A and B are shown apart, each in its own frame.
Chain A
Amino acid sequence: QVQLQESGPGLVKPSETLSLTCTVSGGSINNYHWSWIRQPPGKGLEWIGYIYYSGSTNYNPSLKSRVTISLDTSKNQFSLKLSSVTAADTAVYYCARLRAVTGSTDYFDSWGPGTLVTASS
């Protein structure tokens, strides 16, 4: 059973860059898509983007100018960078495995426990 775990600073100053890493254990990062999703306190879920093990990416247009998702297959990790953060970026950030099958539904079948990141001075 694959397990995911987010790590990174819980506090980021406004205008700075949020950086998180997701470590995948119990399975290989190869042959899957890996995604970041966030949830502001008391609110719903927002998809940030995904990276395929080959390195190709797809980002939410609402965040695209500020987001970079990258992969380190040697460490079985993938990472999120979100630049120029504001208070609106305060949220629980989840990493998740995306099952994407051509011609069928894409769905998030494994999630990390989430990590709260607060954007505040």
Chain B
Amino acid sequence: DIQMTQSPSSLSASVRDRVTITCRASQRISSYLSWYQQKPGKAPKLLIYAVSSLQSGVPSRFSGSGSGTDFTLTISSLQPEDFATYYCQQSYSTPYTFGQGTKLEIK
């Protein structure tokens, strides 16, 4: 299985901050990488697929980049509704695997 490791595991930030979350794959996964946002008690929500393609309806302050094994999710200016847990997911090969999550908290 391909292991996905996110860093940091948790992060404190303020509204209007720029935040970057990193995801590293245990082997090269080309551009087969997606990002999800999950709020407490809710299902995950797709933010970005294919490394940098923004899902319809997702604000443009979210962006993704990277290739090979290293990927990033950036939120350019944090809004109150962005405080949540974020997961990366690889689809280079099955079983699909997710990172352990990064919890973004209000400072």
> Could you list which residues of chain A lie within 8 angstroms of chain B, going by C-beta atoms?
44-47, 58, 60-62, 94, 96, 99-100, 104-109, 111-114
Chain B interface bracket (under 10, 10 to 19, 20 to 34, 35 or more): 20 to 34
Q: How far is the CB of B61 from chain A (nearest CB, A)?
A: 20
The interface residues of chain B, by DSSP majority, are classed as: loop
Contact indicator A60/B95 (Cβ below 8 Å): yes
Known: A47-B95, A47-B98, A62-B95. A105 touches B45 (CB 8 A): no
Partner of A58, one of B45, B94, B99: B94
Show the binding face of B for A, using Cβ within 8 Å.
1, 31-34, 36, 42-46, 49-51, 55, 87, 89, 91, 94-101
| Complex interface: chain A residues within 8 A of B55 (CB) | 109
Total contacts A-B at CB 8 Å: 62
Interface residue SS majority, chain A: loop
For the complex, give the distance between the alpha carbons of A103 and B42 in Å: 31
Instruction: Given contacts A44-B87, A108-B89, list 8 more A-B pairs with CB under 8 A.
Output: A47-B97, A99-B49, A105-B31, A105-B32, A105-B33, A105-B50, A107-B91, A111-B43
Measured between beta carbons, the chain B residues less than 8 angstroms from A45 are 44, 87, 89, 98, 101
